[in-house]
């Protein structure tokens, strides 16, 4: 937010409403104001007024989720300052730029000191009133951006790329691709007994099964530029049918229970933790890493919130300068559903992640790498690359790089630990052939319309794999036959008696060509 961006890159996340003011003429000045306010926050991160002012600007720019996040930080700073001022027996004075507190001195036996104390008390009263007023204003601004207040602390939002995001966080670097390929090699070389026992896979001894490449669908495909950031997983050698080609382990997952007792909500409330070590803590983690409080705070949404927090924790532990630069996050492509309005939660999307960051040592006021927009960017990437069941949610770091086809040549299954995926070839594949998975296995065998409807969660467009395209063409041909009679007059009912189900349908499993849409990319 600290750098200028073109007004044409602005994409508001607030859904449009009837009668809204056109702010296009004001955009340059609002962008400039946002940049100045952000730089001021960098220098004075503990001044609640600065966070409140930027929240107002973000409201005008129609980023309700970010305005709520800034207002929340203003509220936190106001509450902290008011608590300090109200402490009995100690008198604190707010230091320069509100970045530190000073104990006021003075002796009761000195008249001058008494006068000073009276002056300090008056100043404190004035400061307390200003903080109280600011706290009230920040709360009012926050609820204006929460569409369902007071029944729910939720707002409406459309996921969008933030225009101030830097170039290195928009694409995948060559070094990242090399690291992923090292992971593919490590995962497929002797990590599991079943893979060890697989004989005659290929004459290419020691070669991994998979390799990640750029230009998955050719140059100029899908990304509006040269297609270099459209990645795909390809066979690095000949692979027979039924070969286990990948065991994908993940450390980023979440759950909603079950805990030591099963409750009607499916969440543990007895405070005794989980019987399963991955719900949500690992045996190797100490008490400072306990995340059960997140599960208890977020209830049925715990799996999603825990997954997001685990990504943040990995970034902190690995001392990555910016979480979007972490290799587990940088590889994930988001999708931005242009016409779909979703919800964001003040508690689940802002408060709890910030408390988790503080638990692991991040100063959420002074560290811009963990600003609110980063949390929502991470959420968009997780949503596009996660798999889930009613209890768990997980992002598998290698599986997330496979592209989709409704006629996949790779199948996948979930391990009992809910953090491991098994990937196996479903037919013979030659070296250099791209590997495809079905994002939603429940859609196998479903009609075209149902598949495309469900797949919009990832693709933000109709699926354009070769199977979908061929079925669409067949449907169009049959519709034309229904509207045309044998004599060509187009006026009798003879042609209208034809049905899709009257024509023998042959399954299409193309061997040589796939037209697919990568997660987050639109054709």
Q: Is residue 203, in this structure, part of any structural domain at all?
A: yes
Q: Are residues 304 and 360 in the same domain?
A: yes
- DSSP string covering 42-94, please? HH-TT-HHHHHHHHHHHHHTT-HHHHHHHHHHHHHHHHHHHHHHT-TT--EEE
Is the pLDDT at 91 greater than 60, yes or no? Answer: no
Are 76 and 144 in a shared domain? yes
Eight-state DSSP code of residue 120: H
Q: What is the CATH number of the domain that holds 24?
A: 1.25.40
User: What's the domain range around 334?
Assistant: 253-395
Q: Which of 130, 152, 149, 12 is nearest to 74 (CA)?
A: 130
Check: CB of residue 374 under 8 Å from CB of residue 285: no
Please indicate, yes or no, whether residues 470 and 387 belong to a single structural domain of this protein: no
317 and 390 assigned to the same domain: yes
Q: Looking at the structure, do residues 30 and 142 belong to the same domain, yes or no? A: yes
Average per-residue pLDDT for the chain = 80
Same domain assignment for residues 262 and 333: yes
Band the pLDDT of 221: cuts 50, 70, 90: low
Confidence bin at 295 (pLDDT 50/70/90) = confident
Q: How many CB atoms lie within 10 A of CB 236?
A: 22
Q: Are strands 403-404 and 436-437 parallel, antiparallel or unpaired?
A: parallel
For the stretch 16-62, pLDDT in tens is: 988 889 999 999 999 999 999 999 999 999 999 999 999 999 999 99
Q: Where residue 225 sits, what CATH number does that domain have?
A: 2.170.270.10
3-state secondary structure of 219: coil
Same domain? For 291 and 177 the reply is: no
**Does any domain span residue 221?**
yes
pLDDT grade, residue 503 (50/70/90)? very low
Tell me: do 61 and 87 sit in the same domain: yes
Domain count, the chain: 4
Residues 265 and 240 placed together within one structural domain of the fold: no
Q: With respect to residue 265, please indicate whether it lies within any of the assigned structural domains.
A: yes
pLDDT-based confidence at residue 498 (cuts at 50, 70, 90): very low
Most confident of 28-32, 219-223, 466-470: 28-32
In a domain, 180, yes or no: yes
**Residue showing tokens 């409140």:** 52
Q: Which residues have C-beta within 8 Å of that of residue 474, sequence separation ≥ 6?
A: 505
Residue 330 inside a domain? The answer is yes
Higher per-residue pLDDT: 340 or 352: 352
DSSP 347: I
In angstroms, the first-to-last Cα distance of the chain is 29
pLDDT of residue 487: 55
Same domain, 154 and 172: no
Say if residue 97's pLDDT is above 60.
no
> Containing H/E element for 480?
helix 466-482
In the chain, % of residues over pLDDT 70: 76
The model's pTM is 0.82
Domain assignment present for 235 = yes
User: Is 301 in the same domain as 190?
Assistant: no
Mean pLDDT within 478-507: 50
Quick one: average pLDDT of 404-426? 88
Kindly state whether residues 245 and 268 are assigned to the same domain: no
């Amino acid at each position: 937010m600290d750098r200028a961006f073109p007004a044409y890159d602005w994409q508001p996340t607030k859904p449009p409403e009837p009668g809204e003011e056109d702010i296009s003429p004001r955009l340059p000045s609002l962008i400039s104001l946002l940049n100045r306010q952000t730089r001021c926050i960098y220098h004075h991160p503990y001044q609640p007024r600065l966070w409140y002012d930027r929240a107002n600007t973000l409201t005008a720019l129609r980023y309700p989720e970010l305005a709520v996040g800034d207002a929340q930080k203003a509220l936190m700073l106001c509450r902290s300052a008011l608590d300090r001022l109200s402490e009995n027996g100690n008198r604190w004075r707010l230091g320069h730029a509100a970045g530190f507190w000073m104990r006021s001195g003075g002796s009761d036996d000195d008249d001058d000191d008494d006068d000073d104390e009276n002056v300090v008390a008056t100043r404190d009263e004035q400061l307390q009133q200003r903080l109280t007023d600011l706290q009230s204003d920040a709360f009012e601004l926050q609820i204006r951006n929460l569409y369902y207040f007071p029944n729910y602390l939720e707002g409406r939002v459309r996921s969008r790329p933030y225009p101030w995001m830097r170039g290195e966080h928009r694409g995948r670097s060559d070094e990242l691709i090399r690291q992923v390929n090292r992971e593919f090699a490590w995962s497929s070389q002797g990590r599991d007994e079943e893979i060890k026992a697989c004989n005659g896979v290929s004459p290419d001894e020691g070669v991994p099964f998979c390799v990640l490449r750029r230009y998955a669908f050719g140059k100029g495909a899908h990304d509006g530029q040269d297609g270099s950031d459209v990645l795909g997983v390809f066979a690095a050698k000949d692979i027979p049918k039924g070969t286990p080609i990948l065991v994908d382990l993940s450390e980023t997952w979440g759950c909603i229970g079950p805990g030591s007792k099963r409750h009607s909500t499916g969440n543990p409330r007895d405070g005794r933790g989980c019987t399963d070590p991955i719900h949500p803590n690992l045996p190797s983690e100490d008490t400072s890493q306990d995340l059960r409080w997140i599960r208890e705070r977020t209830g049925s949404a715990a799996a999603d919130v825990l997954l997001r927090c685990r990504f943040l924790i990995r970034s902190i532990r690995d001392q990555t300068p910016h979480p979007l630069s972490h290799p587990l996050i940088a590889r994930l492509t988001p999708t931005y559903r242009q016409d779909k309005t979703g919800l964001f939660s003040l508690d689940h999307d802002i408060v709890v992640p910030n408390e988790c960051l503080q638990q692991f040592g991040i100063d959420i006021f002074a560290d811009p790498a963990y600003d609110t927009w980063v949390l929502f960017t991470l959420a968009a990437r997780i949503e596009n690359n996660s798999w889930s069941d009613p209890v768990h949610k997980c992002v598998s770091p290698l599986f997330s790089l496979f592209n989709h086809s409704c006629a996949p040549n790779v199948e996948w299954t979930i391990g009992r630990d809910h953090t491991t995926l098994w990937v196996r070839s479903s037919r013979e594949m030659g070296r250099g052939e791209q590997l495809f998975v079905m994002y939603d296995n429940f859609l196998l065998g479903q009609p075209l319309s149902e598949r495309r409807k469900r797949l919009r969660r990832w693709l933000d467009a109709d699926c354009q794999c070769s199977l979908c395209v061929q079925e669409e063409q067949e449907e169009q041909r049959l519709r034309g036959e229904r509207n045309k009679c044998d004599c060509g007059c187009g006026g009798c009912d003879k042609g209208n008696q034809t049905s899709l189900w009257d024509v023998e349908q042959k399954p299409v499993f193309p061997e040589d060509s796939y037209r697919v849409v990568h997660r987050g990319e639109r054709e």
